[in-house]
Amino acid sequence: MNWTSFFKSELEPIQPYQPGLREEQIREIAQVPSIHKLSSNESPFPPFPSALEAMRSCLSELNEYSDGSCYALKQGLAVEYGVPVDQIMVGNGTNELLMLLAEACLTPGSRVAYCWPSFIVYRMGAQVAGAAYDEVPLTTDGRFDTDALLRAIRPETKMVALCSPNNPSGGIITQAEYERFMAAVPEQVLVVLDLAYTEFATDSEHLAPLSWYDGVRPLVVLHTFSKIYGLAGVRVGYGFAPKPVVEAVDKLREPFNVNTVAQVGALASLGQDEELERRRAENALERTRLSEAFDRLGLAYYASQANFVWVFVPEPERSFEQLLERGIIVRAFPGGGGLRVGVGNHEDTLATIEAFDQLFGSDK
């Protein structure tokens, strides 16, 4: 069998998503007992107690399929955000929604634009659809360059993805930039605003998530329960979009794409603003501690509004290995000259700073 010609030619250039290393994988490499996994932008916070209780109590009903319409969760989201139920889509993570949107909109000959480096799934969605992709450099301070993105739009462009705060740089799109972008973007272009990390942003300039959303213009606003809500393991993300977009995604998604545990856990996580605020503040504090340590060590970094910080180091791959030996798992981006260091709890921060001191301090 010639497997290369057997599969769709669109699959050829695609690199399968590389997950961050798991703790067990580095137990042998690490020379220390405690491992700090800061490679996948996960939350150090567990699911909310109410979510844990709801998820536990649904286990005995798992002989039944999940609710394919996500009825209760959509009702909850509709109340929380004031968006009509028929403008809400729920997916097996935002990841699935991004792939479904690409599948629904992109064709060979069409194009998608976004800034780079950013979330790899924007590129994967285009590749699977056989569409072309235009990757516009971030601003020098690691933020989506919305003006340059506007200039990159061509007649064939069907979709533009915006990410704020951006993964892996942590930089934001300001409300002023977003206003300028939305006022100028051609009306036949679907704007996909990925707000996976928005709950971590503390900068008052950060764009307001629903400020341009009216359920009519071609704008999709995506959120996830994977990050600040601590539900990455059950996979649940959601989006607000005009009804025709939701209907297109409904045609392509699996009938039971969001499992029962995810649905009840997500629903029980809503309406807990105080705890969200506490988590946001704690993340900001640890993020500042990390950034100050990088300042002290003379390492440049992008000012981050997310739960990770991109720090520039001379040899990212070597530093990645050296950090592993010290029990710190980060993500290396050799092409970009940096490491993406997740913001964890205080213990994680202390261990990370100690390891960076050993690698980059003056008495190293």
Ligand X SMILES: Cc1ncc(COP(=O)(O)O)c(C=O)c1O
Residues that bind ligand X (CB under 6 A): 41, 93-95, 119, 163, 167, 194, 196, 224, 226, 232, 237
Query: Residue 290 belongs to what H/E stretch?
Result: helix 273-296
Least separation in angstroms between CB 139 and ligand X: 17
**Nearer CB in complex with ligand X: 122/356:** 122
Least separation in angstroms between CB 109 and ligand X: 26
CA distance 13 to 8: 11
Least separation in angstroms between CB 99 and ligand X: 10
**Nearer CB in complex with ligand X: 258/293:** 258
Least separation in angstroms between CB 196 and ligand X: 4
Least separation in angstroms between CB 234 and ligand X: 10
**Nearer CB in complex with ligand X: 190/293:** 190
CB-based contacts of 143, cutoff 8 Å, min separation 6: 164, 166, 169, 171, 172, 173
Whether residue 143 contacts residue 176, with contact meaning beta carbons closer than 8 Å, is answered with no
The residue whose Cβ lies closest to ligand X is 93
**Nearer CB in complex with ligand X: 163/241:** 163
Written as six digits, the tokens of 105 are 């909109």
**Nearer CB in complex with ligand X: 293/330:** 330
CA distance 45 to 227: 9
Whether residue 236 contacts residue 258, with contact meaning beta carbons closer than 8 Å, is answered with yes
**Nearer CB in complex with ligand X: 326/331:** 331
CA distance 218 to 87: 12
**Nearer CB in complex with ligand X: 95/319:** 95
Closest CA to 328 of 28, 8, 39: 39
Upper half-sphere CA count for residue 150 (Cβ side, 13 Å): 13
Least separation in angstroms between CB 167 and ligand X: 4
- The two beta strands, 338-342 and 331-333, are antiparallel
Tell me, letter by letter, the H, E, C secondary structure of 293-353.
HHHHCCCCECCCCCCEEEEECCCHHHHHHHHHHCCEECEEEHHHCEEEEECCCHHHHHHHH
Closest CA to 99 of 84, 86, 115, 112: 112
CA distance 192 to 220: 5
**Nearer CB in complex with ligand X: 344/356:** 344
Over the Cα atoms of the chain, what is R_g? Answer: 21
SS3 264: helix
**Nearer CB in complex with ligand X: 226/260:** 226
Query: Which residue type occupies 207?
Result: L
Least separation in angstroms between CB 103 and ligand X: 16
Least separation in angstroms between CB 8 and ligand X: 23
* DSSP 8-state secondary structure symbol assigned to residue 131: -
Residue that the structure tokens 């988590």 belong to: 279
Least separation in angstroms between CB 264 and ligand X: 17
